[in-house]
Amino acid sequence: MPVDYSGRASLALALTSTKLVTSRLRRYFVGIFPDSSERRMQWDEKASVEEILETFKDFHPSVLKALAMADGRQLRDRDPLDSLVKDNFALIGDAGHAMGPHQGQGACQALEDAEALRVVLKGAKSDEVHARLQVFNELRSERVAQVVRNTRAAAPDSSSTHVKSANDFSNYYWSYQLTQEAVRVMNEHGHGLQLVDDASAELIVT
């Protein structure tokens, strides 16, 4: 009899951590399931191993063996926000665009957020912060929303036998020139920003 997975899935990840001349391969095993509990509003609250095993009890024994070693940390997927900015506050990283692990883009997008803030706030006076953050929002809101949508599209489900990889969206991720785009939008909004590339010491021209 076929198993009704009801939105549940397991995902294995292999990541290489490199330090100087040594590297270590780390393997992560993720259990994904719908959660309507109050835990979803508390970032530091964990699911118990017992709950995880009960949720996946009809999965293959090898999956249960891996999940038995879980520490219950949460990975959250949230709908994209209409705006990442309110007044003089900006949300970045998981606070602004939590997403699943299927594309490995969570930390990448947090780094893009940080670079965007570096550019748009460069030389800003206190009375300019609000306007500069509107530029940040223009740069980031739609892009991170699209990454969330890409990540959801890459998630395995019972109706598809094809699991998309990061390569399916590689141009969107890896060909994006964030710093140049940020300088262009800043100048478009009349902020007259000039920025020197740290690596080449050349002026960034858009």
Q: Where are the domains of the chain?
A: 85-205
| pLDDT > 80? residue 10 | no
With CA atoms as reference, report the closest residue to 3 among 63, 92, 67, 47: 63
Bridge pairing between strands 89-90 and 85-86: antiparallel
Bridge pairing between strands 22-32 and 9-19: antiparallel
With CA atoms as reference, report the closest residue to 168 among 155, 179, 180, 154: 154
Asked if 91 and 133 count as a contact pair (C-beta separation under 8 A), the reply is no
pLDDT for residue 134: 96
pLDDT digits (tens, 9 = 90+) for 114-135: 999 999 999 899 999 999 999 9
pLDDT digits (tens, 9 = 90+) for 58-90: 888 988 888 888 877 777 788 899 999 999 999
Q: Which residue has the tokens 């080449």?
A: 200
Q: What is the mean pLDDT of residues 153-180?
A: 71
pLDDT for residue 76: 78
Cα separation, 149 vs 143, in Å, equals: 10
Written as six digits, the tokens of 162 are 């094809």
